[in-house]
Amino acid sequence: MLTSVLAVSAAAQAAAVGPRFYGDPPDDHHAWAVHDGHRPQPKAVTPGTFSTADQAGRPPSDAVVLFDGTDLSKWQGDKGAPAPWLVKEGFMEVLPGSGQIRTRETFGDCQLHLEFATPRQVEGEGQGRGNSGVFLMGQLEIQVLDSYQNVTYADGHVGAYYGINPPLALPVRPPGEWQVYDIVFRRPIYKDGQVVDPGYITVFLNGVLVQDHTPLEGPGGHMGRTKPGPFPAKGPLSLQDHGNPTRFRNIWYRELPPRPAEGGTDGWLTPEAAMAKRQETAAMLREQAAKLADPANPVPEMFGWFESLVYAPDPGAQARAEQLAAAYVQGLKSLAGESLAAKRDEVRQVRDVFRYLARFKYLPESFPPKVAVEQLIREQGWDQRRR
């Protein structure tokens, strides 16, 4: 794990822009400084295309495709037999009475895309019209229903977290037309029997928000009230056979990164996760600093050791950085005339770094090299703005 993180951090450094010692430093919940050049770059994803009434769109490049309109090889029946639903013209269709189907693959937190169409010929009413369901991890149901000009109980409409939370609105198309679900699912996280993160479901139906970061209250279900509780780490995606020949197409998901409660990857983190990442970055910077040793030009190595202290303390790194700072100041005192003047911009940069480190308490204001550099700048008039 450490090796891979350091490789990512090194890649981020190579692509870094802007100065170091710039934004507010890492803290108890943030592994990176503001505008940190070492922060890993977001991965590049080629976006997909939107669907039309006649043709399913193309998934983004990092999506795991569960159904591309050709076959049900990634699906199975409840008892592991081949999925019995029909496949034709780029979609799958419920075979009434054959039972629900589920993915052979299991997964956890995800962004899920799915398109469905209820029967064009309307039969029945209420829950009897185009009924099916999307079951995250085989448990939590987001309802599929023909809710177009159809009255039923609110927590059973299309877009409902079934039995628990009605949709915020009913942005539905007429029967037979393709409807689009985009779902963000975060399972509950428990540790030692206690809830750490209740989990959430966010749902867009045809581009309209219908579940707004709704906290999870168990899987939901028919007539019975479920209670919050743990989910497995992974589970299948299930589609319901409710007796209606509902159609589905263009089903894919994208895995989501861990949340702070699981160690996270970036943003606001637990103190333990933030410090672990800070220590990884500090180790990378110290390894690089050791390779920059050059008595004729101590500044790059000095900056490397000092920068590592912004991420994590280390007595050896502190001592080496201060030793280089003292040697740098001693070297400046041996210069005069044009040789000293040529160092003006570098010396001012060193001063700014010392000030940054002192401002955030990595060095005392009375740090002798800082005092000496500031005095030299005043004596040479380098603190005056050019006109």
- Report yes or no: 171 and 210 within 8 Å, Cβ to Cβ: yes
pLDDT one-digit tens code per residue, 81-110: 999 999 999 999 999 999 999 999 999 999
Ramachandran angles phi, psi of 344, nearest 5°:
-50, -55
Give the burial class of 205: count Cβ atoms within 10 A of its Cβ; 0-12 exposed, 13-18 middle, 19 or more buried.
buried
The H-assigned helical ranges of the chain are 2-14, 271-290, 299-311, 315-333, 337-341, 344-359, 368-380
What is the C-alpha to C-alpha distance for residues 244 and 99, in angstroms, rounded to an integer? 11
β-bridge partners, 249:
115
Burial 69-86 (b: 16+ CB within 10 A, else e): beebebbbbeeeeebbbe
| Mean pLDDT calculated for residue range 158-178 | 98
pLDDT tens by residue, 203-259: 999 999 999 999 999 989 898 899 999 999 999 999 999 999 999 999 999 999 999
How far is CA 56 from each of CA 49, 53, 59, 69, 177, rounded to the nearest angstrom? 9, 8, 9, 9, 12
Q: What pLDDT does residue 242 have? A: 95
Q: Report the CATH number of the 64-262 domain.
A: 2.60.120.560
- Under the banding of pLDDT at 50, 70 and 90, the label for residue 384 is confident
Alpha carbons 256 and 252: distance in angstroms, whole number: 13
Average pLDDT over residues 36-55: 94
pLDDT at 385: 67
Q: Which three-class secondary structure string do you get for 79-94?
A: CCCECCCEEECCEEEC
For 275-315, what is each residue's pLDDT tens digit? 999 999 999 999 999 999 999 999 999 999 999 999 999 99
How many Å apart are CA 171 and CA 192, to the nearest integer? 41
Q: In the predicted model, what is the mean pLDDT of residues 345-351?
A: 96
Decide if pLDDT at 19 tops 80.
no
Sketch the domain layout of the chain as residue ranges. 2-40+268-380, 64-262
Which stretch of DSSP H or E encloses residue 45? Answer: none
Average pLDDT, the chain: 93
